[in-house]
Each structure stands twice: as structure tokens, then as C-alpha cells.
Amino acid sequence: MTEKKWFTSERMDIWIAAFIALVSLTTAFAAWRTSVVGSSAADANRQGVIDSIKKGTSQNESWRRAYEEAGYATGFSIESAAADAMDASGDKTYRATAKNLRQYLLPSLQLLSEPLGTQEKYLTADGAFDLEKRFADLEAETPDIQALNPIDSFDLADRYSSEQRWLTIGTVLLAISLFWLGMAEILAGRARTVNLLIGLGVYLFGVVFLLIIEAVAILGRGGAL
Amino acid sequence: MNETTPGTERFKSVVLVLTLLNTIFAALLSGLQVDANIRANNANRDSQYYALLVSK
């Protein structure tokens, strides 16, 4: 008699309502977690783009400096050759001009062209400036910028996005179980029990599915939520 | 007066089955929407990244 009472329609109504509430809460939690993961993916993507901009800006600045120094070094060479020519001309006025150049202009140009225009290591075998080498040295001066790797951030974002996809599938499972429980609330007799069991089965499967997804994803990221 | 005919019961059952199918369809559509959104975000990210690479 006690067993029969346990399965009365009224009692079943309460249990089904409680299960629906539980599934609703779990669905809301899963939806929240899916949203958090999506947000983390967006953050990682943004970080990757920011790192790309930083690296790009650094490289542009390094090239600008290399070419700026090359410009001054070229100016120094031209003016130096001009001073030599004026000295060799024998003309007193030209020699005075050459002296002026050597005293004021050339030291300034040499200073501005440093180190590209003054260090031997930046000269190629044919006497040209080795801009690639100067660029590499300038880049080496900013190791923190060079350590940035946008691709790592993009890979992390892809992992988050993959988790988001799977979590969405889990959320769909929970929504389906909610429907079966709703059917159980409407139906009566054997059909009600069958629907209730299907709903609970899908719900439990969905919860286990979500837990496995979370565990695999978190372990894959080395423990990061 | 509250008795329902077999025809009405069958109609209710059909409506319930259709609702079930519609729910599953809506759930699948939601999943596809999330997937499309992720793809759109990734494409947007890649376009920005490639644009930055070109400007270097």
C-alpha cells in the first residue's frame, strides 16, 4: 500500500515539478558557463590582435629608425665627399666652407647616424649599409615585445570556442530533457512514467556530458578556467 | 460536458509531437547559431590579423 501511495498522481506532480526546477537551474548554469567561455574566447582573440598590433608597431618603428640612421649616414657620406672635393679644389673660399662643414655639419650628421653609420659591423662587403642587421639589433632591444605571440592567443581562443560549441550541445540536451519532463507533467499513467524516465535519462546524460566537456577543456588548457 | 472525444485526444497528441519536433529543431538551430557566431568572430579576427601583417 505504501508503494502505491508513493506513485500517486499528486506526488508525481510534485516530483516532476521539482525535476523541472532542477533541470531549469542546470540549464541556466550551463548557459552561464557557455557565455563565460565565449567571453574568454573573445578576450583571447582580442589579446592576440593587441599583441599583433604591438609587434607590428615595434617592427615599423625599428624599420623607421634603421632608415632614419641610413638617411643621416648617407648625408654624412655625401657631405664628407663634398668637403673632400672642396679641400682638393685649392680655392680658399671652398676650403673655408669645407672647414665649416667638418666643424659643424659632419659631426652632427655622424652623431645622428649612429650606430649604423659609424660601426663597421653594419657595413656590407660592398660598402653599403646592412639595414637588415641594424633592424635585427633594434628588435633585440625589446625582448618583451618579441616574446609576444599572437598565434598562441588565437589558439587559446580556438580552444575556448571549441568548448563553447560542445557546451551548447550539452545545453541543448538539457533543453530536450526539460521538454520530456514537461510532457510527463501533462500526461498520465504509464506514458507519464515513461516520459519522466526519458527526461531524467536525457538530463543525467546531459549533465555527465557537460562535466566531461569541462574536465577535458580545463585539463587541455592546463587548469585555466 | 468535459469528456473529450478520441478525435480530440489524437489531435492533442499530434500537437504535442509537433511541439516536440519543433523544440528539437529550435535547439539544433540554436547550436548552429552559436557555431555561425564563432566562425564569424574567427573570420573577423583573421581579417584584422592579416590586415596587420600586410601593414608591417
Question: Where are chain B's structural domains?
Answer: 1-56
- Residue B10: band (very low, low, confident or very high) from pLDDT cuts 50, 70, 90: confident
Question: What residues of A are in contact with residue B42 (Cβ under 8 Å)?
Answer: 45, 157-158, 161
Interface ipTM: 0.74
Burial A47-73 (b: 16+ CB within 10 A, else e): bbbebbbebbebbeebbeebeebbebb
Q: What is the pLDDT of residue A4?
A: 53
Q: Determine, for residues B53 and A52 on separate chains, whether the beta-carbon distance falls below 8 Å.
A: yes
Question: What residues of B are in contact with residue A42 (Cβ under 8 Å)?
Answer: 41
Q: Report pTM.
A: 0.79
Question: In chain A, which stretches have pLDDT less than 50?
Answer: 1
Q: Which of A59, A172, A186 sits opposite B56 (nearest CB)?
A: A59
Q: What is the pLDDT of residue A128?
A: 85
Q: Which of B24, B38, B56 sits opposite A161 (nearest CB)?
A: B38
Q: Determine, for residues A176 and B41 on separate chains, whether the beta-carbon distance falls below 8 Å.
A: no
Q: How far is B54 from chain A (nearest CA, A)?
A: 10
Q: What is the pLDDT of residue A145?
A: 92
Q: How far is B7 from chain A (nearest CA, A)?
A: 17
Question: What residues of B are in contact with residue A161 (Cβ under 8 Å)?
Answer: 38, 41-42
Beta bridge partners of residue A123, listed in sequence order: A129
Distance CA A212, CA B11 (A): 41
- In this predicted model, what pLDDT tens digit does every residue of B27-56 receive, in sequence order? 788 888 999 999 999 999 999 999 988 877
Q: Which of A38, A49, A165 sits opposite B48 (nearest CB)?
A: A49
Query: What residues does each domain of chain A span?
Result: 2-220
Q: What is the pLDDT of residue A1?
A: 47
Question: What residues of A are in contact with residue B14 (Cβ under 8 Å)?
Answer: none
Q: How far is A176 from chain B (nearest CA, A)?
A: 7
Q: Which of B31, B42, B48 sits opposite A168 (nearest CB)?
A: B31
Query: Is the CB of residue A166 less than 8 Å from the CB of residue A211?
Result: no
Gyration radius (Cα) of chain B, Å: 24
Q: Determine, for residues A161 and B41 on separate chains, whether the beta-carbon distance falls below 8 Å.
A: yes
Distance CA A40, CA A215 (A): 17
- In this predicted model, what pLDDT tens digit does every residue of A101-128 receive, in sequence order? 999 999 999 889 889 888 888 888 888 8
Question: What residues of B are in contact with residue A53 (Cβ under 8 Å)?
Answer: 52
**Omega before B6 cis (within 30°)?**
no
Q: Determine, for residues A179 and B45 on separate chains, whether the beta-carbon distance falls below 8 Å.
A: no
Q: What is the pLDDT of residue A7?
A: 63
Q: How far is A89 from chain B (nearest CA, A)?
A: 47
Nearest to A206 by CA among A170, A179, A168: A170
Nearest to A169 by CA among A205, A121, A138, A141: A205
